[in-house]
Structure 1
Amino acid sequence: MNLISPPIGESSRRDDLTRFHTRGLLIAAVVLGGCALIAFPIRQHTYAAIVDWATASQLDSLIGFIANGGLWILVAPTLTAAAWCFVRARRRFWTSVSAGVGVIAAYLLGEGIKILVARPRPCTDVDVPTVLVCPGAGDWSFPSNHSVLAAAFATACMFTLVHSAWIVMPIALAIAGSRVAVGVHDVHDVLSGLALGIAVVTGAVLLLRPVLDRALDGGEPARRTTPTHCTSE
């Protein structure tokens, strides 16, 4: 399949946009990590306030649905974007594969941290009614892997289709917030999970980019081949 390279000026503008989003993602990860540190000392008060609101509201069923199945809302557009770029822009497709490696790495790292930290769920410490049943002993709380995966999938989707940020990032935040509202995580659990997911996927794409360039261009400078719908590196 022949792919038409965009004009040099257009490619440069897209490069600038991608670099801007990459810097923004790394800054967001740092800010979220800082917010997690701030939220830790007041975790019980914020947890109780949010859970009380959720259980008393008329939205408890919706919040429970988002907390349990919201990740599929992000998986679908991420896979669709990757399939679109497989047809229209191979380089962008392989960038999405690099992001997929980051998603897997973020999940495994999150699971490893959970085992090492072994922090009990907040619903075992704070006596408040919760939307979801409190997980049993051994099902650790920190970090929230739902939040890790939500941020990871959203970040992967952004690297495939840059302008999707305005859709996927609010969804990721809603999923993370719902995990607190249903009573299974503290605020710092989900903030840390979001930071981890963003940082690992962004790092994976940046680390694998030279390998991708060498594989696709035979060691030559990367040739910009992405059409309008899938922005170039």
Structure 2
Amino acid sequence: MTPAPAPSLLAFDGSGIDGGLYTDVTDAAHRTPHWLDHAVLLWSDYGLAVFAVLMLAGWWAARRRGAADTARALAVPVATVLAYGVNSVVKALVAEDRPCISLPHTPTLEACPGAGDWSFPSNHTVVAFAAAAALLVVDRRIGAVAVLAAVAMGASRVWIGVHYPHDVLAGALVGVAVGLPLTLAARRAAPLVERARGTALAPLLGTP
């Protein structure tokens, strides 16, 4: 584990909210088998790629249904990117130090991000839950898989030591709050999709 950077004097210290729970989780991580920690690290670092695959699956399934369903499927990545953008603004406004900075003597599986790489809310969790909420609108079975993957992603961020539990909870709320309504509203673009199905875009948009 690399030494934690010095905390910023202007940053918010979130350890008073659930720092105890955070240290309980990171302590547990150091008592589990190495293979499990390695698997969690891999999932935490690369698991977002799974959501891209699920988005493709949602789009492929929606191509065989109505234009409104296709419009919603096409909106999933857009809603996810917008959720990430909203979260970036919240991060900058709150400016919460990472727990590995505020609690420097707590052992973590992941190297501590540098000062200025804010903690609240968790970007990974926002992206995962925005995608999951949006995919639930598109296809319940695919969405259910995405929800389980999103929960695993959020938990992994605390497990490896880069986020407090409240960072993950807030990230889930932001992701759902942005991803769900935007995807529901995308059905209004159904007439555009219907017209586009008569153009060269038909192979991408499919037919009912």
- Unmatched segments (≥5 aa) in structure 1: 1-38, 219-231
- Counterpart Cα distance in 2 of 1:89 and 1:214: 10
Kindly indicate whether residue 161 of structure 2 is the aligned counterpart of residue 186 of structure 1.
Answer: no
Q: 1:87: how far off?
A: 4.7
Counterparts of residues 60-71 of structure 1 (less than 5 Å)? 60-71=37-48
Whether 1:56 aligns to 2:34 is no
- What is the identity, as a one-letter code, of the residue corresponding to 1:115? A
Offset at residue 88 of structure 1 (A): 4.7
> Structure 1-normalised TM-score?
0.71
Aligned to 1:151: 129
Contact map agreement 2:67 2:191 (CA 8 A) in 1: no
Residues 177-219 of structure 1: CA distance to partner in whole angstroms, max 9, x if unpaired? 000010000000001101111110112123343x32454579x
Partner residue of 2:102? 125
Q: Contact 1:99 / 1:202 at 8 angstroms: preserved in 2?
A: no
Deviations 1:107-162 (A, max 9, x none): 00011111111111001111211000000011000000000001011122222212
What does residue 22 of structure 1 align with?
Answer: none
Matched position secondary structure for 2:112: coil
Offset, 1:43: 1.0
1:169 paired with 2:144, answer no
CA RMSD, aligned part only?
A: 2.2
Greater percentage in helix? 1
Q: What CA distance in whole angstroms lies between the structure 2 residues aligned with 1:40 and 1:97? A: 39
Equivalences, count? 180
Structure 1 Cα separation of the partners of residues 133 and 153 of structure 2: 14
Mapping of residues 90-109 of structure 1, within 5 Å: 90-109=67-86
How does 1:1-233 map onto structure 2 within 5 Å?
42-58=17-33, 59-126=36-103, 127-209=105-187, 211-213=188-190, 215=192
Whether the 8 Å CA contact 1:71–1:150 is kept in 2: the answer is yes
Unaligned runs of 5+ in 2: 1-13, 196-207
Query: Normalising by the residue count of structure 2, what TM-score does the alignment of the two structures yield?
Result: 0.79
> Per-residue deviation at 1:90?
3.6
Task: Note if contact 2:23-2:106 (Cα within 8 Å) is conserved in structure 1.
Answer: yes
Q: For the residues of structure 2 that align with 1:168 and 1:44, how far apart are their CA atoms? A: 28
